[in-house]
């Protein structure tokens, strides 16, 4: 609408000029019979028309240039709005991607926590089963011990009986000296019986000793497995305690420190020694041990003996 009005005004001005020129020409005309020459006036009118058309064309071109400038500015404004909208959309997409990443990391942490709890429960169940097996083995050993004692009691009775028989045989031999052949035969029979009973007793004792030795070996293996399981569990607890007190920074990532630790039976740290590793990690590890003061240890003597002096590798953990 603005462009149309811009064109209308020059056209009105141009028309007005033309009408004015025509009026001037008309007023200057002589209506007598004698014609008058008018070439000069016509030339001026034509020149005015030409000049006016040039002004109009220039004005039109100027209006077109202004329109183009307005269109250019409008396009630049629209491009700027689109650019800002694109940047805002990209920012939202980046924020949504970051939120999604954080959510994935949170879920991963939950899964790791559940897995750790499941592993701890499995370890406790395994320990309980091993204790039950050890208890069953102990009951079996006690039953075998009762059987052995019963067998020894029977052997003692048999020995007493044998001695009684020997005494009776001797008495009978004394009484039957005159019957030497019969007494000799009886004595030989009694001796053979005694030797057979002695061999039977020795065989039974040997069998009981072998069974007891096998039982003791089984109990020892079971206890050794229990001890090593407890040692691994307390070693993990010691490492976790050090990790909780460990001050880390990004320069320690992927680096380790190996340290020797001596513990009292109540877990009090009585001595440490850096064996090898990165100096920064080792310094942080030494500080973490000193800060803890006491580390987890078992109250069972055989487990504590495995833990009282340990070599531990510490690697900083990053969440």
pLDDT score for 56: 84
Cα separation, 220 vs 227, whole angstroms? 10
Q: What is the tens place of the pLDDT at every residue in 112-141?
A: 888 888 888 888 888 888 888 888 888 888
Cα separation, 180 vs 174, whole angstroms? 10
* pLDDT over 70 percentage in the chain: 79
pLDDT score for 18: 54
* pLDDT over 90 percentage in the chain: 24
pLDDT score for 30: 47
Mean local confidence (pLDDT), 210-233: 68
The larger pLDDT score, comparing residue 22 to residue 239, is at 239
pLDDT score for 202: 82
Token readout for 285 is 């590890």
Q: Say if pTM beats, i.e. exceeds, 0.75.
A: no
**Residue 227, pLDDT above cutoff 90:** no
**Residue 301, pLDDT above cutoff 90:** no
Scored b (16 or more CB within 10 A) or e, 255-288 reads bebbbebebeeebeeeeeeeeebbeebbebbbeb
Q: Right CATH number for 239-314 from 3.30.1150.10, 2.30.40.10, 3.40.190.10, 3.40.50.720?
A: 3.30.1150.10
* Mean pLDDT, the chain, whole residue set: 81
Mean local confidence (pLDDT), 197-202: 84
pLDDT score for 313: 92
Q: What is the tens place of the pLDDT at every residue in 2-36?
A: 444 444 555 555 556 556 555 555 554 444 444 44
Cα separation, 167 vs 191, whole angstroms? 12
Mean local confidence (pLDDT), 208-224: 62
Scored b (16 or more CB within 10 A) or e, 182-205 reads ebeeeeeebeeebeebeeebeeee
pLDDT score for 71: 92
Token readout for 303 is 């487990």
In the beta sheet, which residues pair with residue 272?
261
Mean local confidence (pLDDT), 198-216: 74
* SS3 per-residue string spanning 10-78: HHHHHHHHHHHHHHHHHHCCCCCCCCCCCHHHHHHHHHHHHHHHHHHHHHHHHHHHHHHHHHHHHHHHH
Residues 6+ apart with CB under 8 A from 186: 169, 172, 173
Cα separation, 210 vs 197, whole angstroms? 20
pLDDT score for 223: 54
Neighbouring C-beta atoms of residue 133, cutoff 10 Å: 15
Mean local confidence (pLDDT), 52-71: 88
Least confident of 14-28, 67-81, 229-243: 14-28
pLDDT score for 41: 45
Q: State residue 259 phi and psi, 5-degree precision.
A: -135, 145
pLDDT score for 31: 42
Token readout for 205 is 């004792």
Q: Where are the domains of the chain?
A: 239-314
Q: Phi/psi zone of residue 34: left (φ > 0), alpha (ψ -120 to 50 degrees), beta? A: beta
Cα separation, 53 vs 181, whole angstroms? 177
Cα separation, 226 vs 118, whole angstroms? 20
At residue 52 the predicted structure's pLDDT band, cuts being 50, 70 and 90, is confident
The larger pLDDT score, comparing residue 183 to residue 232, is at 232
């Amino acid at each position: 609408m603005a462009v149309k009005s811009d064109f209308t005004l020059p056209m009105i001005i141009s028309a007005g000029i033309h009408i004015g020129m025509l009026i001037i020409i008309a007023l200057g005309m002589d209506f007598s019979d004698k014609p008058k020459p008018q070439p000069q006036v016509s030339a001026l009118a034509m020149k005015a028309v030409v000049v006016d058309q040039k002004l109009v064309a220039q004005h039109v071109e100027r209006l077109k240039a202004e329109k183009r400038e307005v269109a250019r500015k409008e396009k630049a404004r629209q491009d700027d709005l689109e650019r800002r909208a694109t940047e805002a959309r990209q920012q939202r997409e980046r924020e949504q991607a970051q939120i999604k990443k954080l959510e994935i990391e949170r879920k991963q942490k939950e899964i790791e926590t559940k897995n750790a709890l499941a592993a701890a429960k499995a370890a406790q169940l395994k320990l309980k089963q091993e204790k039950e097996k050890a208890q069953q083995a102990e009951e079996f050993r006690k039953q075998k011990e009762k059987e052995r004692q019963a067998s020894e009691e029977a052997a003692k009775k048999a020995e007493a009986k044998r001695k009684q028989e020997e005494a009776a045989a001797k008495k009978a031999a004394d009484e039957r000296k005159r019957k030497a052949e019969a007494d000799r035969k009886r004595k030989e029979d009694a001796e053979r019986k005694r030797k057979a009973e002695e061999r039977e007793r020795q065989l039974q004792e040997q069998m009981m000793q072998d069974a007891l030795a096998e039982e003791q070996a089984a109990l020892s293996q079971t206890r050794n497995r229990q001890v090593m399981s407890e040692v691994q569990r307390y070693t993990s607890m010691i490492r976790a305690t050090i990790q909780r007190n460990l001050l880390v920074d990004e320069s320690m990532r992927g680096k380790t420190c190996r340290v020797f630790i001596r513990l009292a039976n109540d877990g009090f740290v009585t001595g440490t020694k850096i064996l090898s590793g990165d100096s920064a990690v080792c310094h942080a590890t030494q500080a973490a041990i000193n800060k803890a003061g006491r580390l987890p240890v078992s109250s069972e003597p055989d487990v504590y003996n495995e833990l009282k002096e340990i070599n531990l590798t510490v690697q900083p953990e990053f969440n």
